[in-house]
Amino acid sequence: MKIEVKSENYNKFLKRKELRLDIVHPEESTPAMAVVQQYIAKEKSVPVEKTEIIEIISSRGSPTSKCLAFLWDEKIVKDLSKKEEPKEPAQ
């Protein structure tokens, strides 16, 4: 899998960096959001809790995908690689 940053903009109002990525994944299925989240956090030296994957859209019949990701300054997002325990129903 190869990930290439196509554009990178900083949104001052929302205090986040917005990344548009191209993902090439020959002989593999579309990568999971958790895998891309971990990869971007590592590449950009940002905590996983500040990295949010908005969407991954695959090209039909082609081993490529497009991705939109946000790197937040303040907001804390969910780490997609960790599983949540089910909540008990309210009584």
Which pLDDT belongs to residue 59? 86
Q: Does a structural domain hold residue 52? A: yes
Which pLDDT belongs to residue 4? 92
3-state class of 44 per DSSP?
helix
The domain that holds 9 is classified in CATH as: 3.30.70.330
**Tens-binned pLDDT, residue by residue, of the chain (91 aa):** 899 999 999 999 989 999 999 999 998 889 999 999 999 999 999 999 999 999 999 988 899 999 999 999 988 777 777 766 666 666 6
Name the domain count of the chain.
1
Q: Does a structural domain hold residue 24? A: yes
Q: Does a structural domain hold residue 18? A: yes
Domain encompassing residue 34: 2-72
Which pLDDT belongs to residue 1? 86
For residues 58 and 8, give the distance between their C-alpha atoms in angstroms, rounded to a whole number. Answer: 20
Which pLDDT belongs to residue 76? 76
Other beta carbons less than 10 A from residue 21's beta carbon: 20
